[in-house]
Structure 1
């Protein structure tokens, strides 16, 4: 794997961690938002999982 690919992967991990921390803070401050945020992040992480699977399959070729 090239250095650029590793840097992009690290950047994506940092962004995901920041989004998760932001969502945790919002839910902590506004507990009534937990269900809508949970549904939104569940759909988003599902899409990310599908994309990661496709990228992994392409890189494995």
Structure 2
């Protein structure tokens, strides 16, 4: 399966920040099939990210 990571400067991409409801930095959004699968704001543990990425790939 394919995983794609993108880093967005929300100060220069207000429309994209609004689309993904980014109110704080850092925000991480995992999408699956064009919809938000998981959203994290602030520090997130690596094991949580790994588990959720694996779930998104299934």
TM-score under structure 2 normalisation?
Answer: 0.27
Higher relative contact order (CA 8 A, sep 6+): 2
Point out the structure with the larger strand share: 2
TM-score under structure 1 normalisation?
Answer: 0.26
Point out the structure with the larger helix share: 1
**Rg larger for:** 1
